[in-house]
Structure 1
């Protein structure tokens, strides 16, 4: 039981150990099969050489026997000629009257027959392993039998078996050592990757995995893991920046709110001062509420759980109605152009998109916003263009990120989430949103495309 437990622990220990054990088992199996095939092939080759010698002697003696000359038979070390009834007609002097075949065996020979058997032809009549070649001679029924001792072949086969048996452990050991070095060399990059990965303690660390040269599986794995670490580092940096920005945005209204409450407490006997402080505190509470709702919306969008209630909506009518409401609030002159275009969308979410676009234009200092609504073959588009200064060139690519604001907008109370919410809502509707600066006027242009109804 202890041996089995140790083997299991060894197999669970490392990939290198498991590969070495599998390689060793496979090597032993293949080597045993290979040596067995080699032994059988060598044995057959020796037996074939023995049979070829017998066939050659038998062919020569057959010619003499057919002419009635038995002299060559008597001189052969192991040969006999039998009559049809099984009696010995002639034979080798060395046999000294001992038979190679009995009567039944002689009568059973009708063609060339090769057999191996033990005959009492050894020293003092001891059994001797011989190989016999028999063939009918002429039409009288005579049979010629030629034999040869097979002990030399058996001894050669035994020596070959012993040699292969002795060489097998050395071959296995040599192949296992070679396999160990090959496995170690193949897994060396994995060890380096493991050590470096263990040394990377933070996702935002500048350390990266070592480069594995080549185009094999391990090299591709290393490149994939390194790219994954880079993406995780970018995501971690963005999340940490988000937390920092959110903390900053929350700290300001909380600080103002606390200050207004302290002022109200200090002026309890002055109704006007208390009322003014409470109104200011309520405005900060509203700001905190909007910020919390915006963050919740973005969190739902990132989690894929932002739900939109779809119903037929005329984009032109909705935009015109919302423009009439937003104009006085933002001091923007909003012009709406386009034919009626119906989409399946959430009207409340679309109003939120228009509100954020108007707030963004107003914060940038624009006086007029032009909204163009058009229906294409595959999409319905809403193009919002204002006459403001446009997006700063360094913010065009990152304007949809959370808490990103231009210099002019940083003086306002906005949190830099407006365009992020616009993209989140449009994406939830299955649409796309792009922004650019108008080449002629320099103003900001935001283009929204939504699936048609």
Structure 2
């Protein structure tokens, strides 16, 4: 069954239809009011003409000049009983008012009365007249004006309006269509260009729309969104490329060590060395997979933290004792007890990654300072290493970013500081990097919301 749509699906057609209907209604109302105003103006002009003639004729009658009434196009003087005394020559024996109508006038003025007056030939004619008392002996003067001329003018106006109205409505509808099409032309261009952009790695962008209207701002917003998506896509692609590169190296080493073990089955010592090397690479792969999974959860907003009261100073002392032998650096802890609601395991991971980063940079000493700053708890990690390369200070938190190989040990995947920022962000905190005092090396400042 075919369903007929009463409302068009196209926005352009709907806007043009709404514009045409609205303007047609307004135009019809305006022209109707114009016709009524013109009709009333004609009636007012007729009344003014009759009133002026009546004033002149009354003056003539009072001056004993009945010829003024005979010379008028349509006037008649009556006695108080309704008998015609003087009639206009143009009436040709016809009367404007019947005797009872004259007697009904009395001493008052009757204005703008429309009557059907019989004319020669038996055809009645619509006449607008005024009946006034003359001021002597109860005489009544009636002055009339045929309405055929006025009605003809009104009919001609109605015909003109009836012909002009559809033409004006059609012109307004066409104008509305052209205006809507011109206004939505940039939208069509944006739609075609957006459909032509197949992937986010394309350099194509949406066309710029001149002006500062809503469509121009929409085009600029969409183009900015595409640019941001392209940057995010490039970062994700770089992440995949870097991850593939990082995974390829330990996998290749593992395969080589396993091949060596298989070839040296008759040499237990060689087999043990090969399997030990493969085990180390497997552990490296496991750490890399866990780090990548943590970052993926953080990107998806699913990195959960178990919040419980934690004394940051006690935790830092415990980690310093555990990290020193593993990393080969001396870790000093300073500060008073600071208790916050945090995930102790994740905070240990932050300290472990910072220690690994300092060890990889060749530092021998690290200092952890725990304190407070306003409503935040602060953990400052400083080492005596070479510090962050100046060109990497703004990128050190990015994934797979590593310093100059001549300044750092060729270990790690470049995810340590990314994990630090991810964990701190999950705790609604911030992390900042700099070089300098207190040990003239790298300094990482972690700020976490406090509960004291």
Task: Select which of 407, 415, 418 maps to 2:416.
Answer: 418
Give the structure 2 partner of residue 374 of structure 1.
Answer: 371
**CA 1:412–1:92 in 2, change beyond 3 Å: closer, same or farther?**
same
Distance in 1, matches of 2:307 and 2:98, equals: 107
Distance in 1, matches of 2:15 and 2:202, equals: 34
Task: Select which of 277, 289, 293 maps to 2:290.
Answer: 293
Distance in 1, matches of 2:43 and 2:288, equals: 97
Q: Is the 8 A contact 1:208 1:226 kept in 2?
A: yes
- 1:15-26 residue pairs with structure 2 within 5 A? 15-26=11-22
Q: Is the 8 A contact 1:78 1:95 kept in 2?
A: yes
- 1:117-156 residue pairs with structure 2 within 5 A? 117-121=115-119, 123-138=120-135, 140-156=137-153
- Equivalent pairs counted in the alignment come to 448
| Deviation of the 1:346 alpha carbon | 0.9
Please tell me whether residue 56 in structure 1 is matched to residue 52 in structure 2.
yes
**CA 1:119–1:57 in 2, change beyond 3 Å: closer, same or farther?**
same
| Residue-by-residue CA offset, 1:290-333 (whole Å, 9 max, x unaligned) | 22221121122112221111111111111011001001100011
| Deviation of the 1:402 alpha carbon | 1.0
| Deviation of the 1:429 alpha carbon | 0.9
Q: What's the TM-score, normalizing by structure 2?
A: 0.92
Please tell me whether residue 71 in structure 1 is matched to residue 62 in structure 2.
no
SS across alignment from 1:298: helix
| Deviation of the 1:375 alpha carbon | 1.5
Distance in 1, matches of 2:434 and 2:415, equals: 18
Please tell me whether residue 221 in structure 1 is matched to residue 223 in structure 2.
no
Moved more, 99-108 or 321-330: 99-108
Q: Is the 8 A contact 1:112 1:135 kept in 2?
A: yes
Distance in 2, matches of 1:403 and 1:243, equals: 10
Q: What's the TM-score, normalizing by structure 1?
A: 0.92
**CA 1:124–1:444 in 2, change beyond 3 Å: closer, same or farther?**
same
Give the structure 2 partner of residue 88 of structure 1.
Answer: 84
SS across alignment from 1:399: coil
Distance in 2, matches of 1:336 and 1:415, equals: 27
Q: Is the 8 A contact 1:326 1:355 kept in 2?
A: yes
Q: Is the 8 A contact 2:361 2:409 kept in 1?
A: no
Give the structure 2 partner of residue 432 of structure 1.
Answer: 430
Please tell me whether residue 326 in structure 1 is matched to residue 323 in structure 2.
yes
| Deviation of the 1:87 alpha carbon | 3.2
Q: Which runs of 5+ in 2 are unaligned?
A: none
Give the structure 2 partner of residue 255 of structure 1.
Answer: 252
| Deviation of the 1:5 alpha carbon | 3.6
| Deviation of the 1:268 alpha carbon | 4.0
| Deviation of the 1:203 alpha carbon | 0.9
Please tell me whether residue 406 in structure 1 is matched to residue 393 in structure 2.
no
Give the structure 1 partner of residue 353 of structure 2.
Answer: 356
SS across alignment from 1:27: helix
Task: Select which of 177, 189, 192 maps to 1:195.
Answer: 192
Q: Is the 8 A contact 1:112 1:136 kept in 2?
A: no
Distance in 2, matches of 1:85 and 1:338, equals: 126
| Residue-by-residue CA offset, 1:404-440 (whole Å, 9 max, x unaligned) | 1112387533111111111111111111110011168
| Deviation of the 1:81 alpha carbon | 2.6
Please tell me whether residue 341 in structure 1 is matched to residue 338 in structure 2.
yes
Distance in 1, matches of 2:430 and 2:319, equals: 21
SS across alignment from 1:448: strand
Q: Is the 8 A contact 1:380 1:449 kept in 2?
A: yes
Question: What RMSD over aligned residues (CA atoms) do the two structures have, in Å?
Answer: 2.4
- 1:273-312 residue pairs with structure 2 within 5 A? 273-312=270-309
Distance in 1, matches of 2:221 and 2:432, equals: 31
Give the structure 2 partner of residue 447 of structure 1.
Answer: 445
**CA 1:278–1:136 in 2, change beyond 3 Å: closer, same or farther?**
farther
Q: Which runs of 5+ in 1 are unaligned?
A: none
